[in-house]
Amino acid sequence: MKMTGCGSCGMYMILEGAPGKSFVCMKCRLIELMEEKIRALEMQVESLVEFRKGFEQIMEQRHEVSEGKSSDLQMEAGLGNSEGRLGEESGQWKHVTKRTRQRKRRASEGELELQNRFAELENEEGAQQVVTEGDRARKKRRAVSPIGKGEELMEITPNMSPRRIQDGLKRITRENGNGKNLQPEGTGDRLENSTVTRKRQVYVIGDSLLRRIDRPVTRADPENRRVCCLPGAKIRDVDLRLKRILKGAGKNPLIILHVGTNDTARFSLESIKGDYARLGRTLKEIEAQVIFSGILPVPREGQQRCDKIMTINRWLRQWCYKEGFGMYGHWEAFMDRGQFSRDGLHLSREGNRLLGWRLAQLIKRALN
């Protein structure tokens, strides 16, 4: 047991073993993490402000261009109307007062053109011609149709839906009782190839810390949300299996990755950074929205392992911001030892519920 002072705040603590030369207590480390988060948020706010200013300038330019075009069109229309009036009334002088102009406007507004669209049908010859053309079209359809003589023919119009066409064909088949396939050519292909709009797919992929979190994560949309737990998986294992897991994921899926705990026990910092870089290149080929979940603390290990995990989390946040990925940390939420099981590595039931709830809230914010 030895009493040591923090190099940042000066508080004294009693520790086991010989601490390092530049010892920093846990509270000071948390303050450093908060300061880094604030700096990152300030950078994001500055970039959003610049983006908004540029967007407003572009919209103002478009508005000015559209106003200029509309004013030019109005001037051309006004010139055309004035020239037409001068041409019509050239050589004639009229005394126009306010009342006469109002009377003329009312008279012009009240004039309507009445036209009978069915005037051609009143003529017997026109009516006979329309009837003969309709008969010819029906005969052609009967000749092309697979239906035999004496059977009922269903006329298919372009505005009829595929489902209505199928219902009509089933009704005709049932009435005739011959069991023939009366479906028009090309209709079945159109029905089979019709695509149904799918919701956006969500995949949560990671190591054994994702056990028993599928219920809170998939409760809102079980058909479009998946939790893939790979016990003992490292970053390289996720990189190798990622494309196979995401096969058939659809367009622009949301991927949340929670991996790296097993790597911190075996590999160096440089090796872990290289594995994250390779995983990032694979994710960019998939074209998806990606969010990395921060590595959780490991209570059973010593201070050296916790310092290594905190260093990786800080680097991961900066790397995700640079590469265009998202990063969501959990370090402050899992400081309680009761959220972990007896082995000090995996989560307890309370910890599983907390992690599942946090990931479900993250998915909700990302989709909305």
Q: What is the pLDDT of residue 339?
A: 87
| Amino acid letter, 62 | R
Q: What is the pLDDT of residue 16?
A: 66
Please write the tens of the pLDDT for every residue from 94-120: 666 666 555 555 544 555 556 666 665
Question: Is pLDDT above 90 for 206?
Answer: yes
What is the value of pTM for the model shown?
0.49
pLDDT above 90 covers a percentage of the chain that reads 32
Question: Is pLDDT above 70 for 167?
Answer: yes
Taking all residues of the chain, what is their mean pLDDT, rounded to a whole number? Answer: 77
Q: What is the pLDDT of residue 133?
A: 64
**Residues found in the chain:** 368
Strands 225-229 and 254-258: unpaired
| Pairs from 332-335 (Cβ < 8 Å, separation ≥ 24) | 332/30, 332/33, 333/358, 334/296, 334/297, 335/297
Question: Is pLDDT above 70 for 232?
Answer: yes
Question: Is pLDDT above 60 for 88?
Answer: no
Stretch among 171-175, 187-191, 303-307 having the lowest mean pLDDT: 187-191
**Cβ neighbours of residue 11 under 8 Å, at least 6 residues apart?**
5, 25, 27
